[in-house]
Structure 1
């Protein structure tokens, strides 16, 4: 799955389609669920037509059968995702509301609010960060701020988004994405659209280091900090005497855990964009 997402992110259709075909043979349900997550995480507001395509393709086997079957639809969809412009605004918002130190008090306050108060924040078009935290609580999706036993109502949440005047189609896509994945980012996609700038944003190609092909024929960039091999590689790197490690040591305590998290985050952000935008594009 890591190779699939990294290849889509870099626009490398050959590797992405090969990875999709491999996952389709091994676990078809996992492939369709993962594509629904990737399109929200990596493409999102930059190409809503692509999001619509993926949500349609992941609707069920009957739909895919009408358009040529599992393999044909998977290859067509993944190739289209590789061509799409990319926007990670929903993921940026999720990371901010989940971990930003200046939002610690806000996270605590909203966690203690009632279901009615949460829905009011969403429907009232209040501050984006507060509304996003409230939406995560109402949805019941699993995340680090989830409150055990709290009242949830996903149906009422999406109704509140519509009542708030958020674009109907984007709310539908968010709801479909949430039903497919039960992840946090589809919940935030409609909300982050409220902050979408008008006009056309500049798009530029990033320069990447040379691609190194591993012995198994797969580029080594798929070995991120969320794969077993990537974790092992980062652990070995952190034991070396390097400038990066000296910087991590100056900013973080002796514990290896936060240093590992920073190293993993640094690698992820270096790999975010290929032919992508720095924000939502219209």
Structure 2
């Protein structure tokens, strides 16, 4: 089948699956869209249906476009190769509001997909690969040098046996860092259609490539082709599923503490207050990190310790190494090994939760 036929088949599959689904009554929260997006993504990572559905209902009420954009981001970022069927279904749902109305309506489709994502096994290897390629000091020369590669040269590197982060950077520049910007990459135009055509010709599963092509077309995220790249590695390595070890949590009004992160105003306020505390984590950050970078730095460490953790975590050796390398080795020049500060924050996170309750 060609690309349009594959997408039509996936949309028909989604329509069939939601046919007998009974959606819950929507219960939106009185929070900002940014808090709702954070809650949605983290609740799905944790498999927490009630919070995820409340967040989805909130976004559908306040900003439906944000809901569908975030849904496809979650599918490629947090589920990825662990459940390619649900990634395909979420991508199929992006056909538009008229399509969703035809198969049951916005809330029925959204709640069905949110519940499926909550239950799905999850793998964040695509995002870990992105962060590693973007930030690891060992690849600084590639982030500069590959800027000048031609599209054929970059695609040859993607097909090669080079280290995975090098292939990922080549793929990133090939689809275009203008479309998928990063402060760590120089801006250049890419050739996305040529890239996805080449992935097909290289032998990657046609359906997966077309799902990634459509996901990229709709979201502009380099995570989409990264999932294709990683899927070719998965079959070579053993895998198992287990829950990550979650730190303590508490309620902050109507929200769980883990919803308040560096990407919301309230989360930043809590981090700022926490940095004024007399605890090991705050003292370490004040001693090692320049003032202007402290909130972002602490937010990244918090993500490694709490925000990026998964229930039904699909683990395999390559993904585990990507996660370890990003979390430990990519936190900036003032922190070449983040193991110590991560351990401190795990111990001090209840103090952070106290601050979260006061914002």
- Tell me the TM-score normalized by structure 1: 0.90
CA offset at residue 189 of structure 1? 1.2
CA offset at residue 117 of structure 1? 1.5
Q: Of the candidates 44, 47, 70, which is equivalent to residue 11 of structure 1? A: 47
Number of the residue aligned with 1:211: 249
Number of the residue aligned with 1:144: 183
Number of the residue aligned with 2:337: none
Q: How does 1:189-268 map to 2 (within 5 A)?
A: 189-198=227-236, 201-215=239-253, 217-249=254-286, 252-253=288-289, 255-268=290-303
Number of the residue aligned with 1:270: 305
CA offset at residue 61 of structure 1? 2.1
Matched, 1:117 2:153: yes
Number of the residue aligned with 2:24: none
User: Cα gap change, 1:119/1:14 in structure 2, threshold over 3 Å: closer, same or farther?
Assistant: same
* In 2: Cα distance, 1:21 partner to 1:245 partner: 36
Unaligned runs of 5+ in 1: none
Matched, 1:24 2:60: yes
Number of the residue aligned with 2:192: 154
Unaligned runs of 5+ in 2: 1-36, 320-359
Q: How does 1:101-112 map to 2 (within 5 A)?
A: 101-112=137-148
* In 1: Cα distance, 2:222 partner to 2:136 partner: 17
- Tell me the TM-score normalized by structure 2: 0.72
* In 1: Cα distance, 2:61 partner to 2:167 partner: 40
* In 1: Cα distance, 2:117 partner to 2:252 partner: 25
Number of the residue aligned with 1:188: 226
CA contact (8 A) 2:76 2:224 kept: yes
Range with greater deviation from structure 2 (239-248 or 43-52): 239-248
Q: Of the candidates 195, 199, 205, which is equivalent to residue 167 of structure 1? A: 205
CA contact (8 A) 2:93 2:100 kept: yes
Higher relative contact order (CA 8 A, sep 6+): 1
CA contact (8 A) 1:40 1:186 kept: yes
CA offset at residue 125 of structure 1? 5.4
CA contact (8 A) 1:174 1:187 kept: yes
- 1:227-268, Cα deviation, whole Å (9 max, x unpaired): 111111111111222111233355x34x12443333212211
CA contact (8 A) 2:144 2:185 kept: no
Matched, 1:70 2:106: yes
* In 2: Cα distance, 1:123 partner to 1:204 partner: 32
CA offset at residue 92 of structure 1? 0.6
* In 2: Cα distance, 1:53 partner to 1:47 partner: 10
CA offset at residue 31 of structure 1? 0.8
Matched, 1:37 2:73: yes
Range with greater deviation from structure 2 (201-210 or 181-190): 201-210
Number of the residue aligned with 2:350: none
CA offset at residue 77 of structure 1? 0.6
* In 1: Cα distance, 2:113 partner to 2:90 partner: 7
CA contact (8 A) 1:143 1:184 kept: no
- 1:191-249, Cα deviation, whole Å (9 max, x unpaired): 1223224465222223434431222x121210011111111111111122211123335
CA contact (8 A) 1:5 1:16 kept: yes
CA offset at residue 142 of structure 1? 1.8
Number of the residue aligned with 1:133: 169
Matched, 1:58 2:97: no
CA contact (8 A) 1:41 1:90 kept: yes
RMSD: 2.1
Range with greater deviation from structure 2 (127-136 or 9-18): 127-136
User: Cα gap change, 1:129/1:210 in structure 2, threshold over 3 Å: closer, same or farther?
Assistant: closer
The alignment partner of 1:179 has SS state of: helix
